[in-house]
A and B are shown apart, each in its own frame.
Chain A
Amino acid sequence: DSGVTQTPKHLITATGQRVTLRCSPRSGDLSVYWYQQSLDQGLQFLIQYYNGEERAKGNILERFSAQQFPDLHSELNLSSLELGDSALYFCASSRWGLPEVNEQFFGPGTRLTVL
């Protein structure tokens, strides 16, 4: 158990809908990362927050957004969903944020299926 929690574990929705994925980091970690893992593209870094502020942005679509709250939990919002958004979404946390490279602790993931 990494100490990172993600909810829900599974999510099934329809094209055009909007969903919110939630992540709670390990106790003491200030940084949260979001990743998308699909069969044909591997792990894609989406975005990173540090202590409530956006610190780094990867290949995140404009339809996706995220935030980190004062209690350090984070939410990833996915809107206007398409079939290609079906994937496993991971959240990870670390003590510090980029540009420092810390060990990241990954949650169990949320499997999103868009029908």
Chain B
Amino acid sequence: LAKTTQPISMDSYEGQEVNITCSHNNIATNDYITWYQQFPSQGPRFIIQGYKTKVTNEVASLFIPADRKSSTLSLPRVSLSDTAVYYCLVGGGNYQLIWGAGTKLIIKP
């Protein structure tokens, strides 16, 4: 089964670009990579999903190298409201969902 590893915490400043990397060495061929955001006392919220290369939506970009053993969530021009925990999720193809432990992102003014 895939195991996901991500940094426990990160700090950045308003207006900066933030990149959070997740390692998933044992990712299966049919697994997808998904990122979620969670605020205190709320359920996680979907940010972005991808299989390979680069995916971009209105709030983030997801970079996945050819070997798919890692992925990087990129948040452009963060604001204070982006302070949250970010989770990497790998799975699907083998009927399993493996969540990372989460990265606590703190944005400073």
Contacts and interface: CB of A to CB of B under 8 A. Distances in A.
Given A42-B102, A43-B87, A98 B97 contact: yes
Interface in B22-54: 30-32, 34, 36, 41-46, 49
For the residues of B in contact with A, the DSSP-based class is loop
Contact of A104 (B30, B46, B93): B46
B96 interface: yes
Contacts of B87: 42-43
A45 B96 contact: yes
A92 B95 contact: no
A16 interface: no
A99 B30 contact: yes
B60 interface: no
A100 B97 CA distance: 11
Which interface class (under 10, 10 to 19, 20 to 34, 35 or more) fits A?
A: 20 to 34
A107 B43 contact: yes
B75 interface: no
A111 to B, nearest CB: 9
Contacts of B92: 98-101
Interface string A1-31: 0101000000000000000000000000000
Contacts, number: 64
A92 B49 contact: no
Interface in A31-84: 33, 42-45, 48, 55-58
Given A92-B43, A107-B43, A101 B32 contact: yes
A90 B97 CA distance: 14
Given A42-B99, A43-B44, 14 more contacts: A45-B99, A56-B95, A58-B96, A90-B44, A98-B92, A98-B97, A99-B92, A99-B93, A101-B49, A101-B91, A101-B92, A103-B46, A106-B44, A108-B43
Interface of A: 2, 4, 33, 42-45, 48, 55-58, 90, 92, 98-101, 103-109
